[in-house]
Amino acid sequence: MTGPSPEHSGPTGGFTLLELLVALVVFGILLAGLTQGTRSGLSLFQRQQAVLSSSGQLAQTDQLLRHLIEEAEPGSQDDTRTLTGTAHALALRGHVPAGIAPSPLERLSDLRLSLEGNDLVLTWLVHRHAIALTPRPPPRQAVLMPKVSRMEISYFARGQWQASWGEDQLPDLVRIRIFPADGHDRHWPDIVISPMRSRHD
């Protein structure tokens, strides 16, 4: 007895054209969703990385500015005005970190904090107490933070904040506000510093 011939076998497995089209549409929708989700995830990751990078730069800048202003030189009877400033720039006499100064004798410098373009820049020049026998080295610069839209500085003394400082003593506090150049009108947390020499006046 022979088995059934191919002509009499049941319907073979497979997909109709309509089923294939539906499957392709569903697959396309899933692929589009996955692509959009991946793009959103990458964008969020990049924004998080930028925020972390900015926060790290701000922490380093905060630490450096605190060191410079806390250790600002109060001057002497013949040289009293060692810190002056406006709402957008600050000049003072202080000690640059040991890693920046080429030698311990050149740590005491005249420093300037300012905004050049969108860069927060520190400029320093070795301070000379008396007539020097050798030429003074040229000023040096370091970019503390890039992508800064503006900086606001104020000075606290006699119970109020002032937009500039030009007195023959150090202020009680210096407040620095840094605004990132990201298109939003926001600023990082204020950097408020008290010159240590003024605490003992």
Q: Terminus-to-terminus CA distance in the chain, angstroms? A: 119
pTM (predicted TM-score):
0.66
pLDDT digits (tens, 9 = 90+) for 127-145: 776 665 566 678 888 898 8
pLDDT for residue 113: 95
**CA–CA separation, 103 and 98 (whole Å):** 8
**CA–CA separation, 107 and 95 (whole Å):** 5
pLDDT digits (tens, 9 = 90+) for 81-126: 889 999 999 999 988 876 666 666 667 889 999 999 999 999 988 8
Report which of 182, 165, 185, 166 is spatially closest to residue 174, judged by C-alpha positions.
165
**CA–CA separation, 92 and 83 (whole Å):** 4
Mean pLDDT for the stretch of residues 26-53: 63
Residue boundaries of the structural domains of the chain: 53-199
At position 118, the amino acid (one-letter code) is: N
Mean pLDDT of the chain: 78
Distances (CA, A) of 78 to 82, 91, 111, 113, 125: 11, 18, 20, 25, 20
Indicate whether 175 pLDDT > 90: yes
pLDDT for residue 52: 39
pLDDT digits (tens, 9 = 90+) for 68-85: 999 888 877 777 788 999
Residue with tokens 């606001």, as numbered in its chain: 152
Residues in the chain: 201
pLDDT for residue 87: 96
Q: Which residue has the higher pLDDT, 20 or 150?
A: 150
Q: How many other C-beta atoms can be found within 10 angstroms of the C-beta atom of residue 50?
A: 13
**CA–CA separation, 69 and 83 (whole Å):** 9
At position 129, the amino acid (one-letter code) is: H
Indicate whether 65 pLDDT > 80: yes
